[in-house]
Structure 1
Amino acid sequence: MTDFRCAAASRERGDALAGTASTVRSYLLLEHAGPWGVDVLRDARLPDGLGAHLRELSGRHRVRVLLVRRSGRGAGDAGVRAFACRAAGPDSWTETTVLEGLEDARDLDLGALGAGRSLGLEPHDAPLLAVCTHGRHDACCAELGRPVALALAGGPHAEGVWETSHVGGDRFAGNLVVLPRGLYYGGLDQESALAVADATAAGEVLLDHFRGRSDLPMGAQAADVAIRRELDLTGLDDVLARSVRVEGDVTTARFDVAGHGAREVVVRRVPGETTHRLTCSARRDDPVPRHEVVEVRDAS
């Protein structure tokens, strides 16, 4: 079934986007034009031993390492651009530097990054728009991601646009992550991607394609989106998570909500009733879980 496309199948099923962002708080982006292979830290043409080194440290310290490249144009700097990002709501931050070569990535302190501490690099205030175009990982990411990246690279927010390796959720291609906030968007085309870029520049989220915040567990992501939809709140900090409790398939999240005081949301993870191929390369069918909002209550 080489013509199978997981993103088309997902859209036909109507898979819910809310609560599907990868759960990541710390990111390291390294410029690498490619090829990336299927697994970037195993297959990309990195200096000898660097991939294994980054894989070990990133796993130990819970840092997502992404390879990135410019879309439709060459690198803007001599050397290798690197970004360290921490997703932490209003306290999110990005730092950057230009390495002489990829080998110098060994000197970056992933332990500090994983703990949310500065690496001592140059502060970077502008948001990054990271579009997944990792076609060797999943065909949909290339077929749907590259047109999105090219459209953004030709728009008014081009300086922040990077193509990136796998970010999670192939079936939601085109996927875009806004860093450092860790805002995941899915199901994008050129027009909706430009709308995401405009919303980001205005300090807002675009609810129609919003998958969730990567610094929250998936159930809390779904709760955040539910409150935003109920009250039509799009400001980045209109909904602030104060506590999250996960007990099995039930998540209880408490938020401070702009103009509405404190709200508590109970969300249940519901297993899918049928199974499907969830990626283009999947060798088996799996259920499609979703998040069901059980209750939204005042917690003031």
Structure 2
Amino acid sequence: MSPERPDPVTKLPATACSRSWEVAGHPVHGTAARAGFWVALEQPGPWGRDAFTESWLDPELGVRLQSACAQAGGRLVLIRSVSDHRTRDDGAPRQVFLAGDLGGATGGPWLVTGAIVDPAELLRLDLPALLDGGPDAVLAALPGLRLTDAGILLVCTNGKRDVCCAVRGRPVALEGSRRRPGQVWECTHTGGHRFAPTGIALPSGHTIARLTGELAVAVVDAEARRELCPDTLDAAHDRGRSHLELPVQAAEGWVRARTGETALEALAGSVEAGDEWEATVLVVHRDGRRWRLRVHKELTGERLYDSCGSGPADARAFVVDELPSR
């Protein structure tokens, strides 16, 4: 494909951020937005660039909810069904999903779902409990919700934030929701539109690049098994699990790509030394295998588009090298 010509399928120009990064082919490891828990609130209707203040959601409430989640170490996203074509807010109950304990401190990630009438009900939540606690605190605060064994996938389609997410994300959400109704949703910005179509799998918090309709189905099915989808565990798709530090995301992705390990709790990673740009990371498998890895972010030598709304900039990507074991 010539980079000077529009993509014949998406019609996106060569300067579209996701096209420039896709053609370059750099690894996506270590690019997941950080979040220790996720709150997904159904919000029908149009979304602006800042969907929390530019939608049918009360903007003051949107700011309060977003700020409360961020201060507690998590993230709020708005979601909508691909089949929802309402032209006004009719006050109908809204679906909500809450994914907590992504690090497995109390036995593994969990997902709670149900309907609420007023989004302000979410202000009753003990949000810090979502980081390393079970679902009991959530169910006590919102007794109409329930624990579910299902998995879901949130696909970013916020075209007002970046055109790539709308053009590439919506067909994936449409195909996924057709085949797995109620388990694949459109969502607002999650970070990384240069990797569109991109999405968040819950309850694992796995962030995935370059989704397809087929991958969306496989991801949802893997989440129901409380596993990672094996077809996404490579440098082109696996951005990382959101609760991990960026170098640990990259290191774990490197290990999973080489071992094919899909179990959520199989690996534990920690930074031995360094910072977000260069670190020594130890990854330990529950069977005793260990990998000491040097994770460093390098300039690729190219100027690529991080967003369709900005000009080209020096591109960087994580490089992972294995170090001698001690």
Secondary structure of the equivalent of 1:81? strand
Q: Quick one: which amino acid aligns to residue 93 of structure 1?
A: W
TM-score (norm 2): 0.81
Q: 2:81 matched to which residue of 1? A: 70
Secondary structure of the equivalent of 2:182? helix
Gaps of 5+ in 2: 1-11
For the residues of structure 1 that align with 2:121 and 2:223, how far apart are their CA atoms? 32
Map 1:1-300 to 2 at 5 A: 3=13, 4-47=15-58, 49-72=60-83, 79-86=93-100, 87-89=102-104, 91-113=108-130, 116=133, 118-120=137-139, 121=142, 122-155=146-179, 157-202=180-225, 203-205=227-229, 206-208=232-234, 209-238=237-266, 240-245=267-272, 247-248=274-275, 249-257=277-285, 259=287, 261-282=289-310, 284-298=311-325
Deviations 1:46-91 (A, max 9, x none): 225202212332332222110011122589x951122221222462
**Cα gap change, 1:246/1:152 in structure 2, threshold over 3 Å: closer, same or farther?**
farther
For the residues of structure 2 that align with 1:201 and 1:112, how far apart are their CA atoms? 23
Counting aligned pairs with the same residue, the percent is 31
For the residues of structure 1 that align with 2:273 and 2:115, how far apart are their CA atoms? 40
Q: Quick one: which amino acid aligns to residue 162 of structure 1?
A: W
TM-score (norm 1): 0.87
For the residues of structure 2 that align with 1:141 and 1:48, how far apart are their CA atoms? 23
For the residues of structure 2 that align with 1:83 and 1:296, how far apart are their CA atoms? 40
Asked whether the 8 Å contact 1:47–1:102 carries over to 2, the reply is no
After alignment, is 129-138 or 271-280 more displaced?
A: 271-280
For the residues of structure 2 that align with 1:241 and 1:34, how far apart are their CA atoms? 41
Gaps of 5+ in 1: none
Q: Superposition RMSD on alpha carbons, in Å?
A: 2.6
Secondary structure of the equivalent of 1:41? coil
Q: Please report how far the alpha carbon of residue 281 of structure 1 lies from its aligned counterpart in structure 2 after TM superposition.
A: 1.0
After alignment, is 13-22 or 251-260 more displaced?
A: 251-260
Alignment coverage as a number of residue pairs: 294
Q: Quick one: which amino acid aligns to residue 70 of structure 1?
A: S
For the residues of structure 1 that align with 2:263 and 2:252, how far apart are their CA atoms? 12
